[in-house]
Amino acid sequence: MSSLSPPSPEPTTSMVPDLDEMSTKMAEICEGDALLCSVLADWMDNATWAPLVASAITILLIVILGFLVRNIANRLITRVVSRAATRPVGRFRKGATTAGVDALLHERRKQRAETMGSVLKHVATIVILGTTVLTVLDRLTIPIAPLLTSVGILGVAIGFGAQELVKDFIAGMFMLLEDQYGVGDVIDAGAAVGTVEAVTLRVTRLRDEDGRVWYVRNGTITRVGNESQGWSRAYMDVPVAYDSDITTVRVLLEHLAEEMWADTELREKAIVEQPQVFGVEQLSDSRLVFRVSVKTLPAKQGEVARELRLRIKSALDSAGIPMVAAA
């Protein structure tokens, strides 16, 4: 009876040859590196283990250098952002104190600089540390081409899945670069109208007149009406009887405009230029309408309009000139 020979075991794949092959390749890379690795190996008298130790030291130095470059880049970005945020702003008008405008412009510039600085830091970190990781993988003889291909495919998939998020970030960056609006501005963003409380790369937070807080994605804002950028305007139409003396009414309103401009407290807090009397704005068979216009600091038009109404009412009452309602 013939005995059956036991089946021969199938050869198993061992990790040792792979490690040996990796060590050989690392040694070859080290020998080809005349800048650092081969120099370190020469210092070790070219022993058998010298290329591996020199490669390990080289990888460690690459990692340290990567983090060092990232920290230097972040410090440079922080310094540039700080200088841009604290740079003095130009005066809004010559020969007048405009602390309100200067403070607002300074805050807007500071916010823009800090936001862009944060974006630049993230980009610098991704680029520098990503390059460091790829360099280390190359030193370890790990093929990076398949890795880059996989990352590219993953990036495309994420890009398709996060189109709205990318759209919001891009719109937010352009909004900050172009200084379309900032914290404290009263804007009409289409979906909501209110005062800007916070601006990020993804969303803008508004609070309307009723106290509701609106979160508007930057990518959905197709047009913005800013009522607070640079300066605002308050105006009032003054209707008087048709038979009123035009010259008398005009002189009275011009005198009132001069008084408002002479009010130091009002000039410092709200008014930018001397109020203007445009004359007869409307004419009908029952009344004449004069218009008084005042250029104000941003978002101060409501306060100035209320003061203007009070002064016009008092001046007309003192002159005995009645106001006429629309027919």
Task: Name the β-bridge partners of 280.
Answer: 290
Which amino acid appears at position 225 of this protein?
G
Question: E strands, the chain, where?
Answer: 186-188, 193-199, 203-207, 213-217, 225-226, 232-241, 276-283, 287-296
User: Mean pLDDT, the chain, as a whole number?
Assistant: 79
Question: What CA–CA distance (Å, rounded) separates 207 from 198?
Answer: 10
**Prediction pTM value:** 0.54
Task: Determine the CATH number of domain 178-226.
Answer: 2.30.30.60
Domain locations in the chain?
22-161, 178-226, 232-319
Render each residue's pLDDT in the chain as its tens digit; 327 residues.
445 555 555 544 443 445 556 566 666 666 666 556 666 656 665 555 566 676 777 788 889 999 999 999 999 998 888 887 776 655 444 444 455 556 666 666 777 777 778 778 888 998 999 889 888 887 777 777 777 777 777 777 777 767 788 888 888 888 877 878 877 788 898 888 998 888 888 899 999 888 899 999 998 988 888 887 778 888 899 999 988 889 999 999 999 999 999 988 888 888 888 899 988 888 888 899 999 999 888 778 888 999 999 999 999 999 999 888 766
pLDDT given for residue 226 in this prediction: 86
Q: Residue 205 burial (CB < 10 Å; 0-12/13-18/19+)?
A: middle
CATH number 3.30.70.100 is the correct assignment for the domain at 232-319: yes
Q: Residue 176 burial (CB < 10 Å; 0-12/13-18/19+)?
A: buried
26 to 19, 32, 142: CA distances (angstroms): 10, 10, 10
Q: Which of 37, 32, 124, 42 is nearest to 78 (CA)?
A: 124
Equal fold, 178-226 vs 232-319: no
